[in-house]
Amino acid sequence: MSSESQEPPLSSEAQSKKAAKKEAAKQEKLRRKQELAAATAAASNLSVEDDPLAVNYGFVPLIEIQSKTPVDVNEWTRVEALDDSVANKPVKIRGRAQTIRPVGKKMAFLVIRENGFTVQCLVQAQPEAVSPQMVKFAAALSRESIVDVEGVISIPAAPIKGATQQVEIQVSKLYCVSKAVPTLPINLEDAARSEVEIEKAIQAGEQLVRVNQDTRLNFRVLDLRTPANQGIFRIQSQVGNAFRQFLLAESFVEIHTPKLIAGSSEGGAAVFRLDYKGQPACLAQSPQLHKQMSICADFGRVFEIGPVFRAEDSFTHRHLCEFTGLDVEMEIKKHYFEVMDVVDRLFVTLFDSLNTNCKKDLEAVANQYPFEPLKYLRNTLRLTYEEGIQMLKEVGVEIEPFGDLNTEAERKLGQLVLEKYGTEFYILHRYPLAVRPFYTMPCYDNSNYSNSFDVFIRGEEIISGAQRVHVPEFLEQRAQACGIEVKTISTYIDSFRYGAPPHGGFGVGLERVVMLFCGLNNIRKTSLYPRDPLRIAP
């Protein structure tokens, strides 16, 4: 007999109730199925050819969607704009048939979705307006098909629970622009279901479909249509926009650097190496080298938003290999704190922007993946690496004095910082030099430490930054000490021989920022089409 704890057996009364509930659910599903079959059968003898109102519905011929006739796009109203201000007015919308519910042979309800907003539409047979054949057409549409709907807006007496817009369209015309396959590989209702809902169903003795992460990624185009995913990537868009707008306002110049380089930008084993017409090359782990060269080219302050490639990253718990980097480089006058000052202002502005401009998107994400709003200070907390180590030591976590923090230690420190300072966003600076890239400037008072910093959200690193070495001879020494062939980065080092100002910068992981701000548990949730050693499609 197993020594593991066993669930206590259900009493006969509880088993009976559970069985009765299951049977009731089964009968209800059967009833709905029979109702749908009856409605379909009743309408099956209706012929479109015999319908004088056939012009009001049907599939749009290919020739009509080959840009045959220019039209005024203002003929269409966005679903988002449908409210009681357009009551009793005719409208035309385009969207996806999210749900289709026939009610007998003379009535069908459609819920049409456009960019996350939904509206209920009623297709009801009426003499000289809507034929039973049109109702049949509506009922037979495949879910997720693209349709054009024309009709008049009405205000229902009771609230509509299944749609975001609290109006209803009395349909007069219905055209299918693009037909979806009858059976979708994943059901959007299943894909949008939260773990909380699934667990509640299990406790109630019911079984709900759980769509796993690999299945989601295999059918990513469908998975991305869920409200939570729509929210995630709209939030991500806002992060990129806020990042760009803040830096442009601070006199930064946006640049675009090559992603194929001759030598490693950071060193180490996490490099994608390849043959480039007989020459060794690799994909850029960051735009680091070219950011610094651009500072040498007198741009003063630069930033880039673009892809970076890493062969491994313990943060992901599996080896995700393509990210979106938000990278910054700037001249400094005296101290690397000048770079940290930009980080402080940038991220407080960014978080404020998300909380103000993405309320609906954050709510959509939280409905499926519940999370607490991020706690952050108006003036970002700064701790030295030694102070962080001391906080960990006080609770029994031992760290090598000149080693790096592992993921577990970073998370623990995040908990301690939250308890002591009331923030989930903070900066840890003056890291040991041994754990930083070759181009990092050592501290003036102790060469075991460096003028560098990491930034954390909810105990996870999102930023790595530092003052850079801008003295070419010293840079060569540092590269050699880190095992990098100097000749592979000679053009980079040479750029400092022509006069280079003191400078520093940082790199941010876009997917990390969104994942941690939204309290998500997997970085693949914030990567639009993830790429890793096991996935290069879709």
Q: Tell me which residues are annotated as active site.
A: 310, 312, 318-319, 461, 464, 512
How many angstroms separate the most distant Cα atoms in the chain? 92
| Sequential DSSP letters for 76-129 | S--GGG-SGGGTT-EEEEEEEEEEEEE-TTSEEEEEEEETTEEEEEEEE-BTTT
Q: Which residue has the tokens 């998500």?
A: 520
Q: For residue 493, how many other CB atoms are within 10 A of its CB?
A: 19
Structure tokens at 523: 């970085």
At what angle are helices 227-249 and 359-368 packed, to 10 degrees? 140
Nearest to 361 by CA among 241, 192, 236: 236
User: CA 508, CA 326: separation in Å to the nearest integer?
Assistant: 5
Burial pattern 130-159, b for ≥16 Cβ within 10 A else e, equals bbbbbbbbbbebebbbbbbbbbebeeeeee
| Sequential DSSP letters for 374-406 | PP--SS-EEEEHHHHHHHHHTTT----TTS---
Paired residues of 279 in beta bridges? 276
CA angle 81, 84, 87 (to 5 degrees): 100
User: CA 405, CA 20: separation in Å to the nearest integer?
Assistant: 55
Specify whether the backbone of 202 is left (phi greater than 0), alpha (psi in -120 to 50) or beta.
Answer: alpha
At residue 78, what are phi and psi to the nearest 5 degrees? -70, 140
Nearest to 474 by CA among 502, 432, 452: 502
CA angle 304, 305, 309 (to 5 degrees): 105
